Amino acid sequence: MSQLPFDSGAVLVVDKPLNWTSFDVVKKIRYEICKHYSLKKIKVGHAGTLDPLATGIVVICTGKKTKTIDQLINESKQYIGEIRLGSTTPSFDLETKIDNEFPIPKLDESVLKQISENFLGELNQIPPLYSAKKINGKRAYQYARNNETIELKPSKVTIYSIRLKIINKNTISFNCHCSKGTYIRSLARDIGLFLKSGGHLISLKRIKSGNFTIEMAKSIDEWIDIIKTS
């Protein structure tokens, strides 16, 4: 591999591990670059947040390449994962415990087709309360963790394609290509509501961000090795 100018500007496609925040990845990469190049500081940012309980692509920009972050954030994303039906959690995923249980809908191919048709195209989606969305200068999850009640306004998002598969009687898997700003946790909740049941996300992996695919991604350790040998 040719040497990348990390200190002046590079784009790193990272396969984020479970339980890391996107900012954890930024901090680690920044630390390793500053250490290797003996820098006091360097601009490092990410082109789109990925939840701690999700894995997959986080695009990291360094140096002058941070000027491209806004452009990269606006590009579409693709995810795979699984949704558990018949129960909900306040965070719409496994960050919080189940708060309600519902009858499990009978699943078959016709039901999957109905879901796909209903959620294809432009949607008004209400973000999760447990999210990094800013409300009056404060992150939504900060309100949630303080048990404060706030109203989240719906945002327009677009689902370009969604493929579903039955895993077992209460679990479906998905492959979803969507616009920026789409919350897959909200999609899980909304699919549960559509089925007159409940739903929450139990796994999520981002496999594409713009033109960057998961096959291009490297682990944090791999990127650190590349930085150290550049």
Active-site residues, by number, are 51
CB atoms within 10 A of CB 156: 10
DSSP per position, 56-91: EEEEEEEEGGGGGHHHHHTS-EEEEEEEEESEE-TT
Place of tokens 């981002």: 206
Q: In a 3-state reduction of DSSP, which class is residue 30?
A: helix
Q: Identify the CA nearest to 207 among candidates 27, 13, 69, 47.
A: 13
DSSP 167: E
Q: What are phi and psi of 178, to 5 degrees?
A: -145, 170
